[in-house]
Amino acid sequence: MTTHVKRAFKYRFYPTDAQAAELSRTFGCVRKVYNLALAARTEAWTRQERVNYNQTSAMLTAWKKTEELAYLNEVSAVPLQQALRHLQTAFANFFGKRAKYPRFKSRKKSRKSAEYTTSAFRFRDGRLTLAKTAEPLDIVWSRPLPEGASPSTVTVSQDAAGRWYVSLLCEDPSVQPLAPADAAVGVDVGLGHLLTLSTGEKVSNPRHERRDRARLAKAQRRLARKARGDGANRAKARRTVARVYARITDRRRDHLHKLTTRLVRENQTIVIEDLAVRNMVKNGSLARAISDAAWSDFRSMLEYKAQWYGREVIAIDRWFPSSKLCSVCGTLQDKMPLHVREWTCDCGTIHDRDVNAAKNILAVGLTASVCGAGVRPQRSTPGGQSAVKQKTPRREP
């Protein structure tokens, strides 16, 4: 292969006061531009018209000339332009039925980030300087960049716990496609376990997660009890919640990285259910929010690693009755209540509910892979599907 895989390398950094102020101002402007453009596109959408990226770009130029929005000129223009591109991607995913309608960014809840392309940063001798900031960032190089790598995109972000990160997108010559494998695996998302594989293996949640979740619930109760007027204590309680939440997601992401790398290394084909965001049940519980986030992380990690290593991920429609079908004789059961964990088919086979479902998912995916039609699978093969490419690959531990 002549082209190399692009990978994101993420590091913590510690901004000076001036850098923190400049970056916070940039995050605010990015959010403002994204929301203005979303409002304009939504307004057009209600008139059954579509506004494209170029039109929003022209709007941005006009906004900058108004007195009210003149402050947009004070930050680097590149992250603002990138915000419009991200919105374009969000709409493409919406029209492609891969995502819900784009939502407004909130000051408190949304991820704070700004993306810089090559014209807006300088990377020299391992020092990274962003546009509109005088000094290079104080980055903790927890692991080296690939030999001779030079980033094409740099993303700065701050998480809810206040930590600053910079992610550098670089070509990585060390990632090479693996030799083809014979194995294929089906993956079922369970209730009791994180995932069940068609091989019979059950993958549980990361260690300590139960305890961390209990801590999170406690921290949230404490936050809820803080009176509205008590600003300092409330802010402190909110930071505690954010810190525990960040630890849960960090551990989970680490766990998912190891798991997806193993699945991709061992299997040529991986079949999953297409649990699209739009199909997910709305549920206020945080446990559920974490599980949903884990699922979309799991899927995107699988897809980009499959691209790296020359593997295939097939997503089958979720209406397929994977739990009710006997994977041995093909008989369909009338019903399969959630509490039934093990059942016996008329053909005499004793099934573990989740393993049977994973086997069915695998069988359907492989059939679809051969005949094409039937289950409307969404494939993501190397070099395929745009939705996958537009996602920024995450760091692998």
Binding site for Zn ion (CB under 5 A): 326, 328-329, 331, 345, 347, 349
The per-residue DSSP string of 111-132 comes to PEEEEEEGGGEEEETTEEEETT
Q: List the catalytic residue out of 22, 212, 303, 354.
A: 354
Closer to Zn ion by CB, 16 or 344: give it: 344
For the bound state, the minimum distance from the C-beta of residue 41 to Zn ion, rounded and expressed in Å, comes to 51
Q: List the catalytic residue out of 212, 273, 274, 303.
A: 273
For the bound state, the minimum distance from the C-beta of residue 324 to Zn ion, rounded and expressed in Å, comes to 11
Residues in the chain: 397
Question: Are 267 and 181 spatial neighbours (Cβ–Cβ below 8 Å)?
Answer: yes
Closer to Zn ion by CB, 89 or 349: give it: 349
Q: Which residues contact 76 (CB under 8 A, 6 or more apart)?
A: 26, 114, 116, 120, 130, 131, 132
Closer to Zn ion by CB, 263 or 326: give it: 326
Give all strands (DSSP E) within 180-325, no chain letters. Answer: 184-189, 195-197, 202-203, 269-274, 312-317
Closer to Zn ion by CB, 165 or 343: give it: 343
For the bound state, the minimum distance from the C-beta of residue 348 to Zn ion, rounded and expressed in Å, comes to 7
Q: List the catalytic residue out of 188, 274, 312, 396.
A: 188
User: What DSSP character marks residue 194?
Assistant: S
Q: Which two tokens stand for residue 385?
A: 């599907």
Specify whether 188 is catalytic: yes
Give the HSE-up count for residue 5: Cα atoms under 13 Å, Cβ half-sphere. Answer: 19
For the bound state, the minimum distance from the C-beta of residue 274 to Zn ion, rounded and expressed in Å, comes to 26
Q: From the CB of residue 379, how many other CB atoms can be counted at a distance below 10 Å?
A: 14
Specify whether 125 is catalytic: no
Task: Give the SS3 label for residue 7.
Answer: strand
For the bound state, the minimum distance from the C-beta of residue 321 to Zn ion, rounded and expressed in Å, comes to 14
Specify whether 273 is catalytic: yes
Closer to Zn ion by CB, 345 or 366: give it: 345
Q: Annotated active-site positions, please?
A: 188, 273, 354
